[in-house]
Amino acid sequence: MNGVINFFKPRGMTSHDAVNLLRKILKTKKIGHTGTLDPNASGVLPLCIGKGTRISEYLLDSDKEYIGELTLGHRTDTQDMDGKIISSSKNCVEEEDIISVMSKYIGKISQLPPMYSALKHKGKKLYELAREGKTVERNPRNITIYEQKILNIEDCRKIIFYTKCSRGTYIRTLCDDIGVDLGTYGYMSYLLRTGVGNFKINNSYSIEYIRKLSSEEISKIITPMDKALYHLEELIVSEHLYSKLINGVVLRFDFMDESKVDKLLRVYCKDIFIGIGKISNVDSKFYLKMDKVLII
C-alpha cells in the first residue's frame, strides 16, 4: 500500500494519534501526516502510507479550506473554545461592521503565531512554554487568505464563515484579530477543515469506516501518489530516456514549454509515474533534474 488516505480526523484526536491508529489498523509503520490539524478541530487530514511518505513534503504547501465559528465578547488565552477567558466585552457590534472588518482579512496579511502552537523556541514547543505561564517573542508571518465568506451571523455574536488560506495560517489567531479589530473580543468556537489541496471532506474516511474494511478494500481508498500530487503540472518524457530518467541522470532538452521552468513537476515515461522533477534553463538549454524518483 503506497499513497495517501484522506482521513477524517474527529475533534479531540491529535494528528499523532491519527497516525498511530492507522499504523495499527494497516499494520505498517510507514505512515505520516502532511501537517498537523489542531486536536480541537475536525476534518481533512491526509495521511501518507508506505512509499507515499516520501511525497509528504510536496503536500505541506497545499492550500487549506475551513468552516469556522467566531464567537464575540470574550478572549481566551488559547484563542479557541478550550482556553481560559482572559478578557470580556459587552460592546455591541453591528452586522455591517462585521462584514466590513472581515472583508479586510483577504489577501496577503501578517499574522503573529499564537503561543499555544507547535512552533518551537530554542527546541521547545511554544504551547509547552505557554502552559508554564511563559510568553516569548515571536516574529509575524506572511500568510494569504484567498477567500473568505460569511455564511451566517447570529445575533451579531456568532459568525459562521468559510476560509481558503495558505499554509501556516492560524484560524484561531484570525478570529482573535478580527475580534480586536471589531472593538470587542473574539475566539474560535468551532473549526472544521473541509479541504487540503485536492483532498476534500466529501471523499474523506472516518476511523470507524476504515476499521470495517478488508485489506483489499483499504487499498481502493488509497489515492495513488501521482494523483495526490495533481496540484503539480505533469511532464511526459520520451520512452527512449526511461533508463536515464529512473537512474537520476540529468536530461537536456533543446525545447521546453517555458511555463514549466523552475517548477516542481510530475514526471511520466512509458505511461509510468517516475517521480518529481524540475526544469532549469541554462544558456537557452533546458535541463530536467529529478528531485525525487518514486517509481514503485
Taking the C-alpha atoms of residue 16 and residue 72, their distance in angstroms, rounded to an integer, is 31
pLDDT mean over 125-142: 81
Band of the pLDDT at 156, cuts 50, 70, 90?
Answer: confident
Q: For residue 199, what are the CA distances in angstroms to 43, 59, 112?
A: 11, 10, 27
- Portion of the chain with pLDDT greater than 90, in percent: 74
Beta bridge partners of 7: 45, 205
Give yes or no: residues 156 and 244 share one domain.
Answer: no
- The pLDDT, as a whole number, for residue 207 is 93
The residues that are catalytic are 38
Give yes or no: residues 79 and 172 share one domain.
Answer: yes
Give yes or no: residues 94 and 166 share one domain.
Answer: yes
Edge-to-edge strand ranges of the sheet holding 285-293: 233-237, 264-269, 272-282, 285-293, 251-253
**Contact residues for 181 (Cβ-Cβ < 8 A; gap 6+):** 101, 104
CATH of the domain at 282: 2.30.130.10
Which one has a higher pLDDT value, 254 or 188? Answer: 188
**pLDDT, tens digit, for every residue of 18-47?**
999 999 999 888 998 888 898 889 999 999
- The pLDDT, as a whole number, for residue 114 is 82
Give yes or no: residues 80 and 163 share one domain.
Answer: yes
CATH of the domain at 215: 3.30.2350.10
Give yes or no: residues 192 and 70 share one domain.
Answer: yes
pTM: predicted TM-score of the whole model, two decimal places: 0.90
Give yes or no: residues 184 and 102 share one domain.
Answer: yes
Q: Domain boundary residue among 206, 228, 250?
A: 228
- The pLDDT, as a whole number, for residue 220 is 93
* Residue that has been written with the C-alpha cell 512509499 in this structure: 51
Is 151 a residue whose pLDDT tops 90?
A: yes
Give yes or no: residues 147 and 76 share one domain.
Answer: yes
Band of the pLDDT at 137, cuts 50, 70, 90?
Answer: confident
- The pLDDT, as a whole number, for residue 256 is 83
Element (H or E) spanning 32, and its range? strand 31-33
Give yes or no: residues 220 and 280 share one domain.
Answer: no
**pLDDT, tens digit, for every residue of 239-262?**
999 999 999 899 998 888 888 899
Give yes or no: residues 212 and 236 share one domain.
Answer: no
Q: What is the DSSP letter of 259?
A: G
**pLDDT, tens digit, for every residue of 47-62?**
999 999 999 989 988 9
Which one has a higher pLDDT value, 121 or 148? Answer: 148
Is 171 a residue whose pLDDT tops 80?
A: yes
Band of the pLDDT at 105, cuts 50, 70, 90?
Answer: very high
- The pLDDT, as a whole number, for residue 24 is 92
Give yes or no: residues 104 and 191 share one domain.
Answer: yes
Query: How much is the mean pLDDT over the chain?
Result: 92
Q: For residue 264, what are the CA distances in angstroms to 2, 57, 199, 292?
A: 21, 12, 19, 10
Write down the H helix ranges in 158-228.
171-181, 207-211, 215-220, 225-228
Task: Please compute, for residue 123, the number of CA atoms within 13 A of its CA located in the half-sphere on the CB side.
Answer: 0
Other CB atoms within 10 A of residue 169 CB: 21
**pLDDT, tens digit, for every residue of 261-274?**
999 999 999 999 99
Domain that holds residue 31: 3-62+198-228
Is 1 a residue whose pLDDT tops 80?
A: yes
Residue ranges with strand state E in 50-171: 64-72, 74-76, 85-88, 107-111, 120-121, 124-125, 141-154, 158-165
Closest CA to 31 of 10, 66, 1: 1
Taking the C-alpha atoms of residue 112 and residue 121, their distance in angstroms, rounded to an integer, is 14
- The pLDDT, as a whole number, for residue 149 is 96
Helix or strand or coil: residue 230? coil
Give yes or no: residues 36 and 132 share one domain.
Answer: no
Give yes or no: residues 191 and 156 share one domain.
Answer: yes
Written in H, E and C, the secondary structure of 95-109 is HHHHHHHHHHCCEEE
Taking the C-alpha atoms of residue 122 and residue 130, their distance in angstroms, rounded to an integer, is 14
Looking at the structure of the chain, the number of domains it has is 3
